[in-house]
A and B are shown apart, each in its own frame.
Chain A
Amino acid sequence: MANTALTQTYNPSTKKGGTLKAAHSADWDSLDPADTYYGYSFNFGRYYWRTLTTYKTGAGPDGNTVVPDLAEGLGQPSPDGKTWTYKIKSGLKFEDGSPITAKDVAYAVARSFDKETFPHGPSYLNELLDWPKDFKGVYKTPDVDYKSAVEATDDTTVVFHLKKPFASMDYVVQMPMTAPVPKDKDTGAKYKEKVVSSGPYKFETNEIGKRFTLVRNDQWDPATDPNRPALPDRIEVQLNVNADDLDNQLISGSIQLDIPGTGMQPAALGKVLPDPALKARTDNPTIPRLWYVSVIPENKPLDNIACRKAVMWAADRVANQTAFGGPVAGGEIATNVMPPPIVGQEKFDLYATPENKGDVEKAKQALAECGQPNGFATTMTFRSDRPREKALAEAMQQALARVGIKLTLKGFPSAAYFSDYAGNVNYVKENGIGLATHGWGSDWPDGYGFMQAIVDSRTIRDAGNYNLSVKNPEVDKLIDQASAELDATARAKLWVEVDKKVMEDASILPVVWAKSLLMRGKGVTNLAYNEGQSMYDYVLLGVE
Chain B
Amino acid sequence: MVTYIIRRLIGAVAMLIVISMVTFGIFFVVPQWAGATPEALASRYVGRAATPETVALIAERLGFNDPVVVQYGRFVKGLVAGAEYDYGAGVEQCPAPCFGYSFISGQPVWPDLVDRMPVTFSLAIGAAILWVLAGISVGVLSALRRGSFFDRLSMGTALAGVSLPIFFTGMISLVVFSYGLGWTPPGGAWTDFTVNPAQWAYNLLLPWITLAFLFAATYARLTRAGMLETMGEDYIRTARAKGLRENQVVVRHGLRAALTPLLTLFGIDFGLLIGGAVLTETTYTLPGLGQFAILAIRNQDLPQVMGVVLVAAGFVVVASLVVDLLYAVVDPRVRLS
Knowing A29-B47, A114-B88, the reply to whether A249 touches B187 (Cβ < 8 A) is yes
Report chain B residues within 8 Å CB of A168.
none
For residue B315, CB closer than 8 A to chain A, the reply is: no
B14 in contact (CB, < 8 A): no
Instruction: Name which residue of chain B comes closest to A254, CB basis.
Output: B186
A115 x B50 contact (CB < 8 A): yes
| B57 x A190 contact (CB < 8 A) | no
Q: Is the CB of A139 within 8 A of B58?
A: no
Contact with B along A22-34 (1 / 0, CB 8 A): 0100010110000
The 8 A CB mask of A396-427 against B (1 = contact, 0 = none) is: 00000000000000000001101110000000
B39 & A244 in contact (Cβ 8 Å cutoff): no
A464 cross-chain contacts in B, Cβ below 8 A = 39, 43, 50, 52, 55
Interface positions, chain A 28-75, Cβ under 8 Å from B, are 29-30, 35-38
Asked whether B106 lies within 8 Å of A23 as measured between CB atoms, the reply is no
Assess whether A13 is interfacial by the CB under 8 Å rule. Answer: no
Output the least CB separation between B46 and chain A (Å): 4
> 21 A-B pairs, CB-CB below 8 angstroms?
A27-B105, A114-B88, A119-B46, A119-B50, A122-B48, A139-B88, A187-B88, A190-B87, A208-B112, A209-B105, A238-B188, A245-B174, A245-B187, A245-B285, A255-B186, A415-B44, A419-B36, A419-B40, A464-B39, A464-B43, A464-B50
From residue A23, how far is it (CB to closest CB) to chain B in Å?
A: 7
Is the C-beta of A215 less than 8 angstroms from some C-beta in chain B? no
Question: What's the nearest-Cβ distance from chain B to residue A312, in Å?
Answer: 27
B-chain residues with CB within 8 Å of residue A251 when the two chains form the complex: 179
State whether A187 touches B87 (Cβ < 8 A).
yes
**Which single member of B37, B107, B185, B186 contacts A248 (CB below 8 Å)?**
B186
One of B58, B175, B300 near A116 (C-beta < 8 A):
B58
Residue of A nearest to B92 (CB): A190
Mark interface residues in B87-109 (1 if CB within 8 Å of A CB, else 0): 11110100000000000111100
CA distance A117 to B62 in the complex (A): 11
Known: A27-B295, A209-B112. Is A415-B89 also a contact (CB below 8 A)?
no
> In the complex the two chains form, is A416's CB within 8 Å of B36's CB?
yes
Residues of A within 8 A of B174 (CB): 245, 248
Chain A interface, number of residues (Cβ within 8 angstroms): 54
Q: Is A240 an interface residue (CB 8 A)?
A: yes
Q: What are the nearest 3 A-B pairs in CB distance?
A: A188-B88, A120-B47, A188-B89
Quote the shortest CB–CB distance from B281 to chain A (angstroms).
9
- Once the chains are docked, how many angstroms separate the CA of A407 from the CA of B37? 29
Chain A positions 165 through 204: 1 when the CB is less than 8 Å from some CB of chain B, otherwise 0: 0000000000000000000001111110000000000000
Residues on B with beta carbons closer than 8 Å to the beta carbon of A484: none
Q: How far is the CA of A36 from the CA of B283 in the complex (A)?
A: 27
Q: Considering the chains assembled together, what is the distance between the CA atoms of A462 and B52 in angstroms?
A: 9
Residues of B within 8 A of A420 (CB): 34-36, 40
Residues of B within 8 A of A191 (CB): 89
For the complex, what is the distance from the CA of A365 to the CA of B210, rounded to whole Å?
62
**Chain B 178-202 near chain A by CB (<8 Å), digits 1 or 0:** 1100000111100000000000000
**Residue among A36, A119, A120, A249 with the highest chain B CB neighbour number at 10 A:** A119
Knowing A116-B61, A416-B36, the reply to whether A122 touches B188 (Cβ < 8 A) is: no
Determine if A116 and B57 form an interchain contact, defined as CB atoms under 8 angstroms apart. Answer: yes
A 98-123 to B, binary, CB cutoff 8 A, 1 in contact else 0:
00000000000000001111011111
Asked whether any CB of chain A lies closer than 8 Å to the CB of B68, the reply is no
- List A contacts of B6 (CB < 8 A): none
Check if B61 sits within 8 Å of A415, measured CB to CB. Answer: no
Cβ of A453 under 8 Å from chain B: yes
A189-B87 Cα distance, complex, nearest whole Å: 5
A472 adjacent to chain B (CB < 8 Å): no
A127 at the interface (CB under 8 A from B): yes
Q: Bound complex: CA of A195 vs CA of B121, how far in Å?
A: 32
Decide: A115 near B105, CB < 8 A? Known: A29-B47, A210-B287.
Answer: no
Q: A255 to B55, alpha carbons, bound, how many Å?
A: 37
Chain A 113-143: CB-based contact to B (< 8 A → 1; otherwise 0): 0111101111100110000000001010000
Q: Does A461 contact B (CB under 8 A)?
A: yes
Inter-chain contact B51/A127, CB cutoff 8 Å: yes
Say yes or no for A384: interface residue by CB 8 A criterion: no
What count of chain B residues pass the 8 Å CB interface test? 51
A481 contacts across to B, CB distance below 8 A? none
**What's the least CB distance linking A461 to chain B, in Å?**
5
**Residues of B near any A CB (own CB < 8 A):** 34-37, 39-40, 43-55, 57-58, 60-61, 87-90, 92, 104-107, 112, 171, 174-175, 178-179, 185-188, 282-285, 287, 291, 295, 299-300
Q: What distance in Å separates the Cβ of A394 from its nearest Cβ neighbour in chain B?
A: 25
Specify which of B49, B51, B92 lies most central, judged by the most chain A CB atoms within 10 Å of its CB.
B49
Within the assembled complex, what's the spacing in Å between the Cα atoms of A418 and B43? 9
A241 contacts B285, CB within 8 Å?
yes
Task: Give the CA-CA distance A316 to B57 in the complex, in Å.
Answer: 44
CB distance A188 to B87 under 8 Å?
A: yes
Contact A188:B90 (CB < 8 A) given known A120-B46, A241-B187: yes
In the complex, residue of chain A having the shortest beta-carbon distance to the beta carbon of B291: A240
The answer to whether A115 and B88 touch (CB under 8 A), given A209-B107, A249-B186, is: no
Residue from the list B39, B44, B48, B171 in contact with A245, Cβ < 8 A? B171
Contact, CB under 8 Å: B179 / A252: yes
Known: A240-B295, A416-B36. A248 touches B46 (CB 8 A): no
Contact B47 A416 (CB under 8 A): no
Q: Is A538 an interface residue (CB 8 A)?
A: no
A494 to chain B: closest CB distance in Å?
22
Given A115-B53, A420-B35, CB of A208 within 8 Å of CB of B105: yes
Beyond contacts A240-B291, A420-B34: 6 other A-B pairs, Cβ-Cβ < 8 A, are: A119-B50, A187-B89, A254-B179, A415-B300, A416-B44, A463-B39
Q: Is A76 an interface residue (CB 8 A)?
A: no
Q: Are B188 and A241 in contact (CB under 8 A)?
A: yes
Q: Is the CB of A244 within 8 A of B171?
A: yes
Judged by a CB distance under 8 angstroms, whether A242 is at the interface is yes
Name the one of B45, B47, B60, B186 contacting A37, with C-beta atoms under 8 angstroms. B47
Would you give the shortest CB distance from A32 to chain B, in whole angstroms?
10
A466 located at the interface, meaning its Cβ lies under 8 Å from any Cβ of chain B in the complex: yes
Task: Give which listed residue, A210, A245, A418, contacts B283 with CB less than 8 A.
Answer: A245
How far, in Å, is B161 (CB) from chain A's closest CB? 21
- Are B285 and A453 within 8 A (Cβ)? no
